[in-house]
Each structure stands twice: as structure tokens, then as C-alpha cells.
Amino acid sequence: MIAVMPTVDGHMLDKEFFADQVEANLDRFYAHAILMTKNEACAEDLVAEGIAKAWKAVDSLQDATRFVPWVKRIMTNHFISEQRKASTKTRHIEYHEEFSEESEPFSLFEQLHQPFLLWWGNPEKEFLDDLLQKDIVAAFEALPENFRIAVLMADVEGLSYPEISDTLDVPVGTVRSRIARARSALQKQLWDHALEKGLVDQEGED
Amino acid sequence: MSEKPEKLACEQAIKMILEYLDNELTEHDHVAMNGHFETCRSCFSRMEFEKMLKDKISALPAKKAPDSLRNKIKKVTGKF
Ligand SMILES: [Zn+2]
């Protein structure tokens, strides 16, 4: 059977191209896996299994310039289906999913913004500038898994809500509210972290 | 000047900022948001802030794959 390979610049996507792409982007795949699994050994397994799966499914790659997001998506799907298998054994609950809709989302902007500040002051931008990548990673890793994956898919992979809905097999409405709550939780984490580190002071609180 | 579409209240605009940035609003709402940002500095700053944070998150991962993984992957791709 001859598979029709996607092409890059007119060249067939062959094994060599695939291996080169994997090699060149391995850090990105690994970083993605770490954010998902939060564990180095699990992340290694996930990358290896994801890449093996990707090769088997290479026919489904329509545009070779989308190699990285395509592999990441395969990794994400693989991770989710593995989690699902494990969760039917342990009957784990979709945590935080049933949180009351009414609870006000937490907004960093509201904490930081000072509407009456002179025009050159921008405390919210300063806050972001002080924020290190590792602060964000820590806040991110503190999120429950379904929140983490939702934000990963939306912000890191840039998938649309319908695409996320498709991958996770949940309604678009659930995706929408999950992403909203995940971001609120993430901002709360960042705020608490900043308070702990003394990056912000609470003098404005009353 | 052309007639203005119905005005958004800040409260409504704030609720839609993240979906605006995700490009998930209907075209009608998206246009209404653009209109709101033109006249409301506070919501515009808020949108800018959320955008910067989103960009920071999208740039997130900066982890090097360990050698053990590189070797493992070489074995995987070597078998193709
Ligand atoms: Zn406004």
C-alpha cells in the first residue's frame, strides 16, 4: 500500500524528514509533556509514545509546516486517553467541574489596576514584567489537570474551542467555562505567589 | 459618520475579553468589542493586560530534553 505523503517544498515527507523534525523540536515536545504530566519520567514516556504514534499516523498530517502542533496534539490525545483508562479504574472525579458558576472570576488586572494613577504609571505591566517564566510554570503546575490541559490547548497550542471540544470529547460550553475558570485559577495562583514573594504589597487592600 | 451599533456596557465587555482574545466571539460581538475599546480606556488596558499574560503563557515552555530522552527517541525513529 502506498501512502500519500504530505510534502514540504515539493519534497515527500519521508522518514528522514520526520526524524529530523523530531530531533529539531524535541525540546518543545518535552516541555509540552512536562506541563501536562508534571513529571520528568512520565514526560519522557509521553514524548516517546507520542512520536511513535505520530509516525504511524503520518498520513493524517496534511500540512508539514504544522508538524509541531500536530505532534503535540497527538501527544495530548494520547495523554488524555491514558488518563481516562486510569481513571475508570480509580473512579476519579472531574474536580472543580461542578464549582458554582456564579463565583466571581479572579482578575489580576483588578488587583493591580489603579484607575486614578497618573498616565505614566502602569503597575499591571510592571507586574507582568517581573513575572518569571518559572513563576508561571509553578502557577500552571498547581492547577488541576483538566484546567491545565484546557489552558495548554487554548494558549500554548492555540486551538479553537471547537477543536478542544473535539479532542477532549466534551461540549463546547464546557470548554468555554473550563478555560474561563482555569484562567481565573491561574491568575489567583500568580497573585498569591506574588504576595508570597513580596512582588506586590497589599497596602491597597481595605 | 455611520450609525453606531448598540453600545456595550463595561460589565459585558469585561466578561467577553478573554473570548475576544481567543477569537471565539461571534463577528457581531467582536466588532462591538473593537468599538468599545476605541472609546473605553479602562477596558482597553484590561484587554492589553490579558493579552500580555496570554502571550507569556503561550511562550511558556523552556525545558531542555534530557539526553536519556534523546537516546530513547533515536531508537524510536531508528526503527522506522
Ligand atoms: Zn469599558
pLDDT at B66 over 80: yes
pLDDT at A142 over 90: no
Cell of A181: 475558570
Residue B52: burial class (beta carbons within 10 Å; 0-12, 13-18, 19+): middle
Band of the pLDDT at A11, cuts 50, 70, 90? Answer: very low
Model pLDDT, residue A158: 82
Cβ atoms of A8 and B63 within 8 Å: the answer is: no
Q: What total of structural domains would you count in chain B? A: 1
Q: What is the DSSP letter of B21?
A: H
User: When comparing pLDDT for B21 and A121, which is higher?
Assistant: B21
Find the mean pLDDT for residues A55-83: 85
Q: What are the beta bridge partners of residue A12?
A: A7
Q: Which residues on B lie below 8 Å from A115 (Cβ)?
A: 42
CA distance readout (Å), B42 to A5, A116, A141, B7, B47 = 51, 11, 31, 15, 9
Find the mean pLDDT for residues B37-61: 90
A136 vs B22, B45, B56: nearest CB: B56
Model pLDDT, residue A166: 81
Q: Please, which residues 52-81 of chain A have a Cβ atom closer than 8 Å to chain B?
A: 52, 55
User: When comparing pLDDT for A1 and B36, which is higher?
Assistant: B36
CA distance readout (Å), A135 to A129, A192, B5, B11 = 12, 11, 42, 30
Band of the pLDDT at B30, cuts 50, 70, 90? Answer: very high
Please name the residues in contact with A157: beta carbons below 8 A apart, sequence gap of 6 or more: A69, A72, A73, A76
Amino acid at site A17: F
Annotation: CATH topology of A108-196: Arc Repressor Mutant, subunit A (1.10.10)
pTM for this entry: 0.73
Query: Out of A48-57, A86-95, A111-120, which region has the weakest mean confidence (pLDDT)?
Result: A86-95
pLDDT at B20 over 90: yes
pLDDT at A28 over 80: yes
Find, in chain A, the residue whose alpha carbon is nearest to that of B52. A128
A26/B19 CB distance under 8 A: no
Q: What is the ipTM of this complex?
A: 0.76
Q: pLDDT digits over A180-206, tens only?
A: 999 999 999 999 888 888 777 665 444
Model pLDDT, residue A202: 63
Name the percent of chain A lying above pLDDT 70.
80
**CATH 1.10.1740.10 for the A4-89 domain, yes or no:** yes
Classify residue B41: in a domain, yes or no. yes
Classify residue B18: in a domain, yes or no. yes
The domain spans of chain A are 4-89, 108-196
Band of the pLDDT at A176, cuts 50, 70, 90? Answer: very high
pLDDT at A137 over 80: yes
Range of the domain at B58: 10-77
Q: Give CA–CA dist A97/A103, Å, rounded.
A: 13
